[in-house]
Amino acid sequence: MIGHYGSPTPFWDQWDAEGAILFPKYFNGTLQFSDLISAHNEHRILVTRLWSLLLLELAGYWDVILQMVANTLIVGAVVALVITAFQPILDRALWMAFALFAMVAFSSPLAWENTLEGFNSGWYFMLLFSIGGLVAISDAFAFTTRWWAGLAMLILSYFCLASGALTVASAFSICVVQFSIRRRSGLRELLALAILAMATAATLRYIPLSRETALKAHSIGEFFRALLGIMSWPATPGPVPAIVKLLGATLINTPVLLASVWIIRLRPPFPDRRWFLISLAGWSALQVAAIAYGRAAYPVSSRYLDLLTVTLLLNVACLLYLLSALSESWLSRRVAFGVGTLWLLVILPGAFAYLQVRSIPDVVNKGALGRIETENLRAYLNTGDIRVLENKPRFDIPYPLAPRLAQIVSSPITRALLSPELVFEVGRTLTF
């Protein structure tokens, strides 16, 4: 995808965050820690900024293609973590089936925006730190090395995207559940719970206010319509009646609901990896609700689909776990296999339809627009004539405002950092 459709031209928010602020301050010696944690819309993208600076140093220039390729390393780590996290819960055959499903799901171009925009590493880092933090802390005794590592990852998830604050809230919630059924107890555990409560309050309190008010849900009806669209993905990818979406959402998410109730009633000993399953279920619910509220206008935009893929994989894992557990008691293996097959028949046709109708055409269109954006920006850099950027269709230039784009690329530092494909300067060296 990157080789065929990736563009060397930075895109939209990347110009403001990196081209106008981060890189110039880094090279003129004025970059401070407050700049690294400053607000970007409703996010504090500390991890993405550090990652971009690392890749800038490695490449020697602002290499957006390198950013995309390097981000695939994070995706690989996320997939490996998800597969490993569920290994203790499933038997060998089911775990191998789950691993195959996970690899196919993440290697498909569903979340193509995150693949083809180098600045979107925050989504991958948020998944990595959120899942890693929940794996570590959900079945760790208070103040052990594992517990502190989990807490550190939970806090780092907040510095990837604003929804990372909900990861801390998820960890707090699972510990409350464990306290309520006496799987955690004692003064140390109570103190650890208080620390998680304070971390939750702090991260939620300091989420920056977003200027994207037009994208939010403005009524309960808008919120629930968006929520239904998210929860029924990918079973109902097109415009279908609300009752169909409700049925799809119910079928898709029944496994995680049943597995959570089942495990809580079992009250497994502590530590036990099944507590992670419940904590991830709570995390998924909070993430879905946040998207439905904050991005009700485009609730299943491709940039959110990596997160929704994790939710889908959670349901797959819960389904496999339930079928394995129940087949050992009253449900025969044959019936279990039939139930699993039926569930997949609800999911897979919609997923394939979404890929064919939405994802693949969008990827091709993104590649074509990237070439147009590159040509128009190159023309401005060669001529200095802003008219080559003005009065263009919305995505024919890589930033919504031509004067602002011209101002950013006219900065000596930013211009010197641009890809050679944009400026046609051979053998240049960067000295500041």
Q: How far apart are CA 184 and CA 72, in angstroms?
A: 38
Rounded mean pLDDT, 110-116: 96
| pLDDT greater than 90 at residue 356 | yes
| pLDDT greater than 90 at residue 395 | yes
Residue type present at position 121: S
pLDDT band at residue 343, thresholds of 50, 70 and 90? confident
| pLDDT greater than 80 at residue 71 | yes
What are the beta bridge partners of residue 40? Answer: 43
Using CA of residue 59, residue 63, residue 66, residue 67, what is the dihedral sign? positive
Q: How far apart are CA 172 and CA 155, in angstroms?
A: 12
How many C-beta neighbours within 10 Å does residue 301 have?
A: 13
Task: Give SS3 for 280.
Answer: helix
> 243 to each of 91, 232, 252, 289, how far by Cα in Å?
36, 11, 14, 19
Q: Are 86 and 99 in contact (CB under 8 A)?
A: no
Rounded mean pLDDT, 387-407: 95
Q: Which two tokens stand for residue 356?
A: 């064919």
Interval 24-39: pLDDT, tens: 999 999 999 999 999 9
| pLDDT greater than 90 at residue 329 | no
pTM of model > 0.85: yes
Length of the chain: 432
Q: Are 316 and 98 in contact (CB under 8 A)?
A: yes
What are the beta bridge partners of residue 43? Answer: 40
Question: Which residues have CB under 8 Å from 318's CB, separation 6+?
Answer: 255, 256, 258, 259, 260, 277, 281
For 320-384, give the DSSP string.
Answer: HHHHHHHHTTTS-HHHHHHHHHHHHHHHHHHHHHHIIIIIHHHHHHHHHHHHHHHHHHHHHHHH-
